[in-house]
Amino acid sequence: MRDVKQMAKGLGLGAAVLILALSFGVTAARAADISPEKRAAIDELMEISDVRNMMDQIMPQMLQSVEQMIAAQNPGRDHEIASILTRYFGESFESYEDDFYEGLYIVYDRHLSVDDIKAMTEFYKTPAGQRILAALPRITQEAMSVGMAFGQQAGREALEKAKADLEAAGIKSPI
């Protein structure tokens, strides 16, 4: 998974999401190893934290990121690109939805004990927890924007510095 994360750092958000989504198919089989008690605790946490609604809010942002990557290479075709990608992305993401959620079980299992999960669930039931849950989609969106802007700036700078070495090695530079 570390290699996937390293690759994702160098790619756009949309490409990173696709790589991660595909990697869930490989790891989802391990979700069956999670104890019934822990699985039930994760179910309750995902229910109280409304993970499905959060994903419904984040998915359009990911699609928009991919649309922008393709539109940058195809000026003036934004509407056509959006129409095509919307049709296929919805279908593709739906086909991986179960694998995605199984992958979430693995993530929670790997990093949290059953007691931690139960404590989070209890916290999210409080007024402060509910306010945090309500703010998380906006925080996530803004954090992704900040990260993308930083990544684009740092990547552009690195490519500018590497351009001469790439060309000397006979490698075409994208800039």
Which amino acid is residue 18, in one-letter code?
Answer: L
Helices 78-111 and 13-27: angle between axes, nearest 10 degrees: 40
Q: Is residue 101 part of a domain?
A: yes
Q: Is residue 74 part of a domain?
A: no
Count of structural domains within the chain: 1
Q: Is residue 59 part of a domain?
A: no
Q: Is residue 65 part of a domain?
A: no
Query: Tens of pLDDT along 37-47?
Result: 999 999 999 99
Q: Is residue 72 part of a domain?
A: no
Q: Is residue 38 part of a domain?
A: yes
Residue 116: Cβ within 10 Å count:
13
Nearest to 21 by CA among 94, 72, 85, 84: 94
Q: Is residue 15 part of a domain?
A: yes
Residue 130 lies in domain: 2-53+95-168
Query: Tens of pLDDT along 65-76?
Result: 888 888 888 889
**Unique residue bearing structure tokens 């700078």:** 157
Q: How far, in whole angstroms, is CA 146 from its chain's centroid?
A: 15
pTM for the full model?
A: 0.61
Query: Tens of pLDDT along 114-159?
Result: 999 999 999 999 999 999 998 988 888 789 889 888 888 888 888 8
